[in-house]
């Protein structure tokens, strides 16, 4: 595995035929910075030959894009291989995969000598493909469900752009305390840091940023509600803070519901149940569902 360069091979489709190379790279959401390096280093090739950016492509042309380590905004990270857990894969192609992250597993290590995280486990799982994992977004350690991981650094900024343009849609389910006055609604409270606990966020905390969460009540018990939650922004702990701050902490949340009810459950009942994205280098939208954990049905 060459950890200093990564090559992506793409075949021009009938919808892309007739575009020039510059238009093609723009359509694929390749950042301008990488477009520059691809041109000056002649690392964009059509049918194995470098062509000027005003060259038009035809259906069936093979375009190869090579990205080098010194061109990346995020430094190359090497994770310790860990084979103690095989992560369920919900979707996979040459550019990315979507896993069903278990509760209690961190998304990534904080130190180079740390193991036991999603990125460590995937380092082992992807090794036979000679591919390494790349972070796209995170799920809290206590949260389970659908999580995107890139298989090449080229697609990381493409997926980042989808997230910032709100083209990646994420839906969660959670069991929360209490009942809602309305079956559907939204939380619009700004979220910032908790000045008394650096681990936590709070409504209207320090350096608060706007945040939007939509909810729909799916089921109720005598003391709790099952809600569907759609993230419209991506603030740290957004769902947990919005729910707790509005009187409906997530059952089992060790940070925002630190009481006897929380610890009577083995895990926080928050699950990323559905994820929708446009596959890089295509116009195809896919929706990936992550089955609800057994803890959800046991609680209901």
Q: Is 194 a catalytic residue?
A: no
DSSP 197-216: -TT-EEET-EEEE---EEEE
Distance set, CA 238 to CA 135, 195, 196, 204 (Å): 19, 17, 18, 12
* Annotated catalytic residue, options 140, 160, 189, 219: 140
Q: State both tokens at 156.
A: 């990381």
CB-CB contact of 222 with 299 (8 Å)? no
Q: State both tokens at 78.
A: 């090497």
From first CA to last CA, the distance across the chain in angstroms is 47
CB-CB contact of 203 with 195 (8 Å)? no
Q: Which residues are catalytic?
A: 140
């Amino acid at each position: 595995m060459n950890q200093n360069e990564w090559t992506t091979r793409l075949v021009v489709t009938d919808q892309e035929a007739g575009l020039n190379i510059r238009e093609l790279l723009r359509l694929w959401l390749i950042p301008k910075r990488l477009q520059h390096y691809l041109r000056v280093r002649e690392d964009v090739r059509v049918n194995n030959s470098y062509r000027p950016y005003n060259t038009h492509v035809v259906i069936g042309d093979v375009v190869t894009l090579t990205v080098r380590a010194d061109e990346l905004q995020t430094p190359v990270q090497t994770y310790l291989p860990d084979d103690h857990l095989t992560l369920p894969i919900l979707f996979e192609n040459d550019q990315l995969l979507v896993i069903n992250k278990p509760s209690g597993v961190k998304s990534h290590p904080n130190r180079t000598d740390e193991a036991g995280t999603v990125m460590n486990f995937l380092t082992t799982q992807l090794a036979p493909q000679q591919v390494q994992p790349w972070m796209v977004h995170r799920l809290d350690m206590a949260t389970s469900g659908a999580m995107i991981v890139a298989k090449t650094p080229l697609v990381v900024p493409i997926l980042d752009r989808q997230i910032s343009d709100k083209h990646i849609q994420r839906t969660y389910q959670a069991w929360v305390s209490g009942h809602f006055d309305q079956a559907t609604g939204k939380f619009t409270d700004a979220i910032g840091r908790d000045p008394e606990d650096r681990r936590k966020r709070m409504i209207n905390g320090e350096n608060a940023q706007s945040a939007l969460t939509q909810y729909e009540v799916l089921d109720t018990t005598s003391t709790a509600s099952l809600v569907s939650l759609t993230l419209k922004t991506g603030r740290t702990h957004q769902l947990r803070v919005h729910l707790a701050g509005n009187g409906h902490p997530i059952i089992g949340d060790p940070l925002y519901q630190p009481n006897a009810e929380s610890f009577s459950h083995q895990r926080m009942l928050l699950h990323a149940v559905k994820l929708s994205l446009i596959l890089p280098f295509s116009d195809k939208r896919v929706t990936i569902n992550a089955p609800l954990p057994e803890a959800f049905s046991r609680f209901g």
